[in-house]
């Protein structure tokens, strides 16, 4: 299992980075990204501390662990600027909190994330054809999520991505130990989203390629 969307106590997660990493490793994870909720108020506070923690642990990490950010409920006009700032601060993965149907995310967030060059558009809800096509052109990955609530629209996201050839990744959006999953359960999430068995491996390969790109 490769999971590129997780949270710690640096936002609304329950675990400190060390425990999240340990629990993920015990669950058979091969790579992990810590992507706490951030906006213009805390990006320069939380991200450097996660980077510092991982730097101190680098000789003891059981797998590749990437410091990242999930830009969350940021006004769409500010998203491209914050993506650039996150990368300048050292984020290896930039996720944008997409237009999930279970939260009042501002309209235009999906488009701003894609135009701004995020790595992953998380739980993009009822994403439009135009945005799916643009995500393919810009190399932005659409998330299939194991997170309750956000996962309601997985079927729509998967159908659109498969039709237009846009890359997908599977993430958990973990906030608590119980949110971490095994690869076997992840396969069930993908199949439940309507992804055919022959296409499941491709989703995991997409995640592995993002890790390789970040850690090379």
Contacts of 78 (CB under 8 A, 6+ apart): 40
Q: Check if the beta carbon of residue 123 is closer than 8 Å to that of residue 150.
A: yes
CATH number at residue 181: 3.20.20.140
Model pLDDT, residue 215: 80
In sequence order, what are the beta bridge partners of 2?
A: 31
Model pLDDT, residue 216: 67
**Spatial separation of the C-alpha atoms in residues 214 and 93, rounded to whole Å:** 7
User: Between the CA atoms of 172, 18, 176 and 3, what dihedral angle is there, to the nearest 10 degrees?
Assistant: 0
Q: What is the mean pLDDT of each run of 10 residues along the chain (216 residues)?
A: 98 97 97 98 97 96 98 98 98 98 98 98 98 98 98 98 98 98 98 97 98 87
Q: Give the HSE-up count for residue 55: Cα atoms under 13 Å, Cβ half-sphere.
A: 7
- Which range of residues forms the domain containing residue 118? 2-215
Domain count, the chain: 1
CA-CA-CA-CA torsion sign (28, 29, 34, 37): negative
Q: Report the predicted TM-score, pTM, of the whole model to 2 decimal places.
A: 0.97
């Amino acid at each position: 299992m490769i999971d590129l969307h997780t949270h710690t106590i640096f936002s609304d997660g329950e675990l400190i980075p060390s425990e999240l990493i340990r629990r993920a490793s015990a669950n058979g994870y091969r790579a992990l990204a810590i992507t706490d909720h951030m906006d213009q108020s805390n990006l320069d506070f939380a991200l450097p501390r996660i980077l510092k923690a991982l730097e101190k642990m680098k000789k003891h990490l059981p797998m590749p662990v990437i410091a990242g950010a999930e830009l969350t409920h940021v006004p769409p006009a500010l998203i491209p600027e914050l993506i650039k700032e996150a990368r300048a601060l050292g984020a290896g993965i930039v996720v944008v909190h997409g237009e999930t149907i279970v939260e009042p995310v501002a309209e235009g967030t999906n488009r701003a994330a894609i135009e701004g060059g995020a790595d992953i558009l998380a739980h993009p809800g009822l994403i439009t054809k135009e945005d799916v096509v643009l995500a393919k052109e810009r190399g932005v990955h659409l998330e299939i999520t194991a997170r309750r609530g956000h996962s309601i629209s997985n079927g729509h996201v998967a159908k659109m991505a498969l039709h237009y050839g846009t890359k997908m990744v599977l993430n958990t959006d973990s906030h608590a130990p119980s949110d971490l999953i095994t690869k076997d359960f992840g396969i069930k999430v993908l199949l439940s989203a309507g992804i055919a068995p022959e296409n499941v491996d491709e989703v995991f390969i997409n995640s592995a390629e993002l890790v390789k790109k970040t850690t090379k």
